[in-house]
Amino acid sequence: MIIIPAIDLKDGKVVQLKQGNPNNKILELNNPIEVAKRFIDEGAEYLHIVDLNGAFGEGDNLKIIENIVKSVDVPVEVGGGIRSINKAKKLIDLGVDRIIIGTRGITDREFLKSLSYEIGKDKIVLAVESKNNKIVIKGWREEINKTPIEVIKEVKDLVGYILFTNVDVEGLMKGVNIDIVKEIVEKSPLPIIYSGGVSSLNDIKNLNSIGVYGVIIGSALYKGLINLKDALEVIRV
């Protein structure tokens, strides 16, 4: 399993939002490149960047993303507002390793097919976000009457990875519902990157034990609930 620190960008700064609410900011840091370098110094082998401005349709942080990619020597995946093939290709051209597609990848299968043809499925991570075992899209504001597994099986030939977020626990620092994740991992034909509620080394041990490919950690790192070096040590045991 790989541990992937999260860097959420808004207005050129690193932020953390509670339950994805842009009006509920619980952290703000001024230098994204320094944050990225600190994670690398602590042993991170991969970084997860979300462009919140892009996600909210309020501009983008492409220049900062480019600078981060140039400043670190590990692969970077990027999500947030990637709704066109041109933008996806632009990010790949900037040196981004994988792009994360959200709502449009769920609702527009032709787009996903075209994107897979243009950049290759191994460069694509599909964000599958679930609330009460139903898919939610558009910043968790709309529900689709499909389960995560149904969607994953539909896209298995078009993407390389699934980023599964359990919205029920996201950002609440109350831990992971391991049974839900275990079922997803067991039934998914694609590698699962997990996000949501990771707040202790025990969460990381449990996720590692059920065969999760990667785990994204955000708030717990910024709040000091998890030390990245300790987390990396846990998965090496």
Q: Residue ranges per domain, the chain? A: 2-236
pLDDT digits (tens, 9 = 90+) for 72-112: 999 999 999 899 999 999 999 999 999 999 989 999 999 99
Kindly name the residue from 8, 51, 60, 77 that is annotated as catalytic.
8
Kindly name the residue from 51, 129, 170, 203 that is annotated as catalytic.
129
Is 170 annotated in the active site?
no
Choices 3.60.20.30, 3.20.20.70, 3.30.2320.20, 3.40.630.30: CATH for 2-236? 3.20.20.70
- Identify which has the larger pLDDT, 35 or 175: 35
Both tokens of residue 149?
């597994």
Other beta carbons within 10 angstroms of residue 91's beta carbon come to 27
pLDDT digits (tens, 9 = 90+) for 137-186: 777 677 777 889 999 999 999 999 999 988 765 655 567 889 989 999 99
Contacts of residue 159, Cβ cutoff 8 Å, sequence gap at least 6: 101, 105, 112, 116, 121, 124, 125, 126, 190
Is 73 annotated in the active site?
no
For residue 17, pLDDT over 90 is answered with no
pTM, two decimal places: 0.93
Alpha carbons 163 and 77: distance in angstroms, whole number? 11
Nearest to 200 by CA among 184, 213, 217: 217
